Amino acid sequence: MSSSYLFPIKPVPFLYLGDDDRNIPDLSDEELGDLVAVLKSLARGSYPRLEAVPLALNAYNCNQRTDSDGERPWAYFYPITIIPPVRFNKKDDLIPNYPEIQLDFEIRQDLKRRWQPIRYRGDGGPSNQPMEFSLPARYRFICFIHKHRIHRKNTSQKGVHTISIWDREWDELTWHDTYHVDRISRRKDIREFWKHVKAPGFIDEEGSREHFMSRIRYRTVYHICEHMEETLRSPVPPRHTIYAVMSIALFHMNNARDQQVSIVPDRLELFGGQHKGLLPRFFAHLLCLCLDMRPGWSRARQKRFVLQFRILERLQWMRLRTREYLELHDSDGDGDYGVNTKKNDDGGRGWMCEVLNIL
């Protein structure tokens, strides 16, 4: 049975034209602008526009080829939420008024479908268990990026980012906090957030809130940021955690068939996203996806588009690992974005490394 029959749905929140099995979205000008903004920030080593990050991470689900093990499970990213600090009035009533989480309709429908546990498949391939529904679930991870306010001396930046990831493999939510300052307060704030926020279709109010709260894991055993400060003898900017959050998200998506993917290594290349499978791969994926969405563009127009994403020379790790990723064609075997870097192949994209200035 073909994967297109089993999985006719395509990654949200995008619209699509035709029935291309690579899931090439038909982006609006605003959506394309968000991807361009993220690409530019990665090429320049600057902080990405926050509201564009979830859309770009959702785009990482697109244009993934099938392999012998079947489709890789997807992840869905909700718009970034602001987590207010916990405050109580004189009657011990909680003051913060949390906004309601309104998931896309397709996500709510997917949550109703049966998840086929990876741990019962042996090699990670399709399960031989009878299917209760004609359409099994596609989304393993439901992800929520949070922004917290921090008051810290010697830095004017006030935003710290964390991420909550609901894993359907284990029916549990793991909250990741990679910043070492004021973790106790953030943990208290995130607990109150999930204890009170309304999320129809995700947290049903009738008796399941207590069960949901018992399924939260607080992962804070990250020490790299603290070690960096000891070495630099100066504070690491709090908003640098957006790179760590993006890296944790990409780590989950890259290892979506790993049963214990929530155990994220506490390493520098993960905190900053330098590993070739993280931000460099993400950069290459988004760039190729943008080009795939415009098949009618001339080579000259494609080059003009790519030219705006030239990677700065000071970002040697980004230049080297993006080039390595493009040249290896994702040799690890967990995704192929149609990148052809052979210079003599007119139908390929061998010109990309030259235009990006990463030869």
CA distance 54 to 107: 15
Computed over every residue of the chain, the mean pLDDT equals 83
Contacts 24+ apart (CB under 8 A), 226-235: 226/180, 228/268, 228/271, 234/154, 235/152, 235/154, 235/155
Residue 51 has pLDDT above 90, yes or no: yes
How do residues 126-158 score in pLDDT, each as one tens digit? 444 444 445 789 999 999 999 999 887 766 678
How do residues 14-32 score in pLDDT, each as one tens digit? 988 777 667 889 889 999 9
Is the pTM higher than 0.75? The answer reads: yes
Peptide bond into 99 cis (omega under 30): no
Length, in residues, of the chain: 359
- Calculate mean pLDDT across residues 178-196: 94
CA-wise closest residue to 281 among 327, 345, 341: 327
CA distance 129 to 117: 10
Which of 6-20, 46-60, 126-140 has the lowest average pLDDT?
126-140
